[in-house]
Amino acid sequence: MTPLEIVLVCVLGVGISVAVIFLLVINANRTNRIDLFHAINRSAITGQTVFFGDSLTDFFPISEFFPGKVIYNRGITGDTTEQLLGRIDTVTAIRPKAVFLQIGTNDLNKNKKPSEIVKNIMLISDKLKAELPDAKIRVISLYPISRNRKVLSTFTCQFRTNKNINMTNALLQNACVKKGLDFIDIHPLLATEKGSLKNEYTIEGLHLSEKGYEVVAKALRPYLD
């Protein structure tokens, strides 16, 4: 092998190793979070509010933005619509009066079609409604992404595109109207004129900064009063 080939093989090997370790860590964290939710639920107060979703929910410091309100965060980093469908009991067990649902960006990263994602989100809402007939189900739009926030933003955003995010949001809004669900469209509040995530609102192109969450919290506040 030439020196260049040796270097390329080494880089590839390191990349694969990092990816495997990352997946193992994500999976271990997910299992731990679900176990933690079940433990917390045993002493949780019923009739409160739950936020249900992926890392965009997981990283949202909800209690700090809404002091004095009892809100449970049931977000798990890396989750997809199918994974939420499999852990609905982490929400229904505490009989909340309202559920704020945001999910789908990780599905897009797995090249799922917007129509398939929306179908799953509606299945989630149906299952929640079946278990919690009196609860308000409020669906939050997907957020835009930015590929120029950092050097590695393209890697962070991976297969997500703002075109597919916009398509998903349009279908999702329409589906919510048909089912009589609240659709909270936060996307325009975070986006530039060209439709990408404003750099001041993101850490690395995908996840929100503290300024981004301030915008989200302000938009959600009327629904929590």
Phi-psi region of 210 (alpha: psi -120 to 50; beta: other; left: phi over 0): alpha
Return per-residue pLDDT of the chain as tens, 225 residues.
Answer: 666 555 545 544 544 444 444 444 556 688 999 999 999 999 999 999 999 999 999 999 999 999 999 999 999 999 999 999 999 999 999 999 999 999 999 999 999 999 999 999 999 999 999 999 999 999 999 999 999 999 899 999 999 999 999 999 999 999 999 999 999 999 999 999 999 999 999 999 999 999 999 999 999 999 997
pLDDT at 156: 93
Q: What is the pLDDT of residue 20?
A: 42
3-state SS class at 162: helix
Name the residue type at position 66: F
pTM value is 0.88
Token representation of residue 138: 């409020």
The domain 46-224: what is its CATH number? 3.40.50.1110
Domain ranges for the chain: 1-43, 46-224
